[in-house]
Structures are given as structure tokens and as C-alpha cells.
Amino acid sequence: MTITSLNNLFPSGTMTVTKSTAGATTSATISHSDNTNTASTSSIKLSTGGANAGDSFISVTNGVANYSYGLDNTDTDAFVISESTSPGTTNSARCDADGSWTYPSNSAFSVNTNGADAADVTGNDTIYTPHLDTAIFNAGADYDLGTHTYTVPVSGVYLFAGAIALTGGANLYWCIVHFTRNGSFVVEGLQGFDPTANTICANISHIYKYDAGDTATMSLRAGIALKTADFAGNVNNSYFMGALVA
């Protein structure tokens, strides 16, 4: 059917295009065929009445998963992409009115110590995984506070940063802090020794591609003396953190 009238109105507020033929696509097409004028736009406008009204959004579903995206009127007019049938419930992305994007469901963690030292953990080149078991944040709960291991939830590019402090190991010369991927070292940072305070501090950061299910840890080793160096529990000096960035 072709309807040629101008400004066709559906005053009931609803219109449905439906089909159940297997293998066919149900579609609504908004088309403007002119190719001579840059003002020849084609658009769908979703409009609500004002600040006291509801959201304007698009909902997409396959009958199993639901996503919606659009303007969330109850969240200071932010543009959101939500894992639900309406904006604002389980946002996976949010852009506020200033243009700042946040991704509430993205994996990220930051952990530090519980404040307690761990005695005699290295100093003779022994590899030690620090007891970083206090979460500052652990979005996605992908960092295991018991095993001190981060498990990558989705393939992507991740940023990791970490720092450690060792004390009490007389005659130490160096300390190396490592990041691992599936148990293998992927980056190391070396730091020297402060004999005045018997202290070594080291920090590293890196960006690396990880696959879903990969594990990441931070460990350290120091030498070349006896195994008398203590891991310092100072919460300001020792931490491990990471985030999905791309």
C-alpha cells in the first residue's frame, strides 16, 4: 500500500510493524533519496514532553536479551546504553550532559594490603605473590581476594598498574616486580635498594592484550642475600590494579 498524504498521524500513540515469516526481515525504513543537498536528512525523532515526563529511547530484543539506549529523563538527561528493556536499569554505558563517558559494568579492580606485614618472604630471589586482599573496588568481582588473581572476563586490552614495598632485608641489592599472564612473566620492573632505611620500593604499569579466561597476577622477588625481606603492609605503598580499556 502506498500512502501519499502529507504528515500522516497515528494519534493512538502506537504503531506496529510485524511479521512471522521464517527467514524474512521485518523492517521499517526511513528513507530520503535526494543526493544533491546536505540538508536532505532522514531521521527518527523520539520525543517526550519535558523534564517531568518519561524517557525517549530505542529498545532492541531477541526475546532473550534486552538492550535499550536513549535519553534517561530520571538520570539528569544522560544518554545511556542499558542491558534492560528501559534506560537506567543496568547501564553498560552512560554519557552525562558534560560528555563524560562511564562504563559501570566494565571490569576493573584495585586492591591493596590489609595493613599487615608479611615476614621473610624474599631476599634470596624467592618469588612472592603479595597478600593484596583488600579491595578498593572490584567491579565485576573478577579479582579473587583469596588467590590474589585477576581473571579476564572478556578478550580485550587491559591496563595494569602496581607497586610494592619491601623492608627489613639487610644487604639487599635489588627488587623486581612482575606482572604475569597465565603464570608467565609479561613485564618486569627493577628497583634498587635504600640501605639507610632497609627499604625497596618498585612500581610498574603496562597495557597488554588478554583473552577471556586469562589470569593476571603481580609478584616480586628480591636478592641477593637471605630470605629475610618483609613485604610491607603499608596501604599507600603496595597495590595492584587493572581495568579493561579497549
Footprint (CB under 8 A) of another protein, residues 171-210: 191-197, 199-201, 203-205
184 to each of 37, 121, 216, how far by Cα in Å?
A: 58, 20, 9
> Is residue 52 classed as helix, strand or coil in its secondary structure?
coil
Site for another protein in 85-104 (CB under 8 A): 95-104
User: Does 222 sit near another protein (CB under 8 A)?
Assistant: no
Provide the CA 228 distance to its chain's centre, in angstroms.
38
> Is residue 131 classed as helix, strand or coil in its secondary structure?
coil
> Is residue 132 classed as helix, strand or coil in its secondary structure?
coil
For the CB of residue 147, give the shortest distance to another protein in the complex, in Å.
20
User: Does 26 sit near another protein (CB under 8 A)?
Assistant: yes
Contacts from 58-66 at CB under 8 Å and sequence distance 24+? 59/85, 59/86, 61/85
Q: Among 148, 178, 175, which Cα is nearest to 230's?
A: 175
**Which CB atom, from 73 or from 217, has the smaller least distance to another protein?**
73
User: Does 11 sit near another protein (CB under 8 A)?
Assistant: yes
Site for another protein in 119-138 (CB under 8 A): 136-137
User: Using the rule CB under 8 A, which residue among 27, 65, 146, 184 binds another protein?
Assistant: 27
User: Using the rule CB under 8 A, which residue among 170, 190, 212, 245 binds another protein?
Assistant: 245
User: Using the rule CB under 8 A, which residue among 132, 152, 216, 244 binds another protein?
Assistant: 244
